[in-house]
């Protein structure tokens, strides 16, 4: 081996050991915290977990569900979905993900801008999607997936989820969320139009709260 080959070999070894060391450091950075059956992205944990726990604590039926909260690029503020492959493993092994939009150029509503009470309403709504999935067999969960392919189907699912949120006692917070999106947020007009077509509008939320209020 000539000197040039030795230099090449040593340089290669040094670089590969540096890469390995960097990978080890990356793996040590904790990305999720465990809170009971929740697995929470650390950035969500530090900013929003207290607000999230307000509705979550009320929904005891969801405490046994395995739910992961993670960041993803989305076309909406948040979304709740079943983990597709876990659907094949039986109901006991089902897992869910609640996604938070990390797309900074998104022209809709960014979670960081949402006032606390409205955020609680949004979190309650996302948890109601999971309550809805939990009440369904695999075929029923698949049906939800198909409904999302059409505007009419999407509207039906989102209105139903909003009414579950009201029935669960979070109508006031949902009203704040819906009203913030349409009247106070920096979302573009196109996004606001989409929201008002697909979701319950603030006035409907109030009238449904009134209609379902228990009479003395």
| Beta-sheet strands, E only, within the chain | 32-35, 38-41, 66-72, 78-82, 95-101
Nearer to Zn ion, 33 or 54 (CB): 54
**Binding window for Zn ion (CB under 5 A); candidates: 9-17, 144-152, 161-169, 185-193:** 161-169
Nearer to Zn ion, 33 or 68 (CB): 68
**Residue among 132, 139, 133, 212 at smallest CA distance from 170:** 212
Question: DSSP state, 60?
Answer: G
Nearer to Zn ion, 161 or 208 (CB): 161
**Binding window for Zn ion (CB under 5 A); candidates: 17-25, 92-100, 104-112, 160-168:** 160-168
Nearer to Zn ion, 51 or 158 (CB): 158
CB of 214 to Zn ion, least distance (A): 26
Place of tokens 């000197």: 3
CB of 125 to Zn ion, least distance (A): 5
**Binding window for Zn ion (CB under 5 A); candidates: 47-55, 150-158, 176-184, 187-195:** 150-158
70 phi/psi in degrees, rounded to 5 = -140, 165
Determine what percent of the chain falls in helix, strand and coil, rounding each to the nearest 5: 65, 10, 20
CB of 96 to Zn ion, least distance (A): 13
- What is the three-class DSSP state of 103? coil
Binding site for Zn ion (CB under 5 A): 158, 161
């Amino acid at each position: 081996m000539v000197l040039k080959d030795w230099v090449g070999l040593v340089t290669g070894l040094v670089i590969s050991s540096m890469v390995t060391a960097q990978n080890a450091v990356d793996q040590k950075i904790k990305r999720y915290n465990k809170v009971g059956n929740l697995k929470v992205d650390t950035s969500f944990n530090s900013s929003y977990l207290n607000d999230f726990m307000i509705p979550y604590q009320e929904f005891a039926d969801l405490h046994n569900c395995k739910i992961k909260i993670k960041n993803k690029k989305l076309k909406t503020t948040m979304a709740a979905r079943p983990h597709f492959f876990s659907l094949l493993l039986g109901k006991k092994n089902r897992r869910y993900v609640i996604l938070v939009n990390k797309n900074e150029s998104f022209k809709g509503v960014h979670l960081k801008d949402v006032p606390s009470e409205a955020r609680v309403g949004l979190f309650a709504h996302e948890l109601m999607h999971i309550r809805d999935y939990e009440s369904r067999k695999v075929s029923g969960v698949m049906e939800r997936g198909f409904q999302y392919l059409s505007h009419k189907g999407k509207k039906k699912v989102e209105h139903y989820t909003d009414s579950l949120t009201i029935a669960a006692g979070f109508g006031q917070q949902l009203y704040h969320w819906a009203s913030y999106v349409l009247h106070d947020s920096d979302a573009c007009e196109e996004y606001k139009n989409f929201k008002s077509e697909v979701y319950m509008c603030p006035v409907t939320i109030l009238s449904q709260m009134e209609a379902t209020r228990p009479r003395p």
